[in-house]
């Protein structure tokens, strides 16, 4: 274990805890974005090959795509209520 992986893992654990404790559904997305950054960095640091880097990029971009869709849906359902 390197010091860098310990620091990134600690940040990821803290973010998971805060996602459970946060009540507002919209502000959970902000913590979730930070968690995706941590997971993407951990993938790259553990899989030390160019394909691991491509995997990290594809994971991060698709996670922002799904966050985009979720935020759009929350905004749309606000008008229905």
Binding site for other proteins (CB under 8 A): 3-4, 7-8, 11, 14-15, 18, 24, 26-27, 29-34, 37-38, 40-41, 44-45, 48-50, 52-54, 56-58, 60-61, 64-65, 67-68, 70-72, 74-76, 78
Q: Which distant-in-sequence residues (6+ apart) come within 8 Å of 58 by Cβ?
A: none
What is the Cα–Cα distance from 61 to 55, expressed in whole angstroms?
A: 10
User: Least distance to other proteins from the beta carbon of 74, Å?
Assistant: 6
Contact (Cβ atoms closer than 8 angstroms) between residue 15 and residue 38: yes
User: Least distance to other proteins from the beta carbon of 6, Å?
Assistant: 10
Residue 40 burial by Cβ neighbours in a 10 Å radius (0-12, 13-18, 19+): buried
User: Least distance to other proteins from the beta carbon of 22, Å?
Assistant: 10
Task: Decide whether 14 or 20 has the Cβ nearer to other proteins.
Answer: 14
């Amino acid at each position: 274990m390197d010091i860098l992986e310990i620091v990134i893992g600690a940040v990821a654990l803290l973010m998971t805890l805060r996602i459970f404790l946060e009540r507002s559904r919209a502000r959970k997305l902000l913590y979730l974005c930070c968690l995706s950054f941590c997971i993407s960095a951990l993938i790259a640091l553990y899989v030390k090959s160019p394909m691991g880097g491509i995997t990290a990029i594809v994971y991060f971009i698709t996670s922002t795509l799904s966050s985009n869709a979720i935020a759009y849906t929350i905004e749309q359902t606000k008008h229905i209520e």
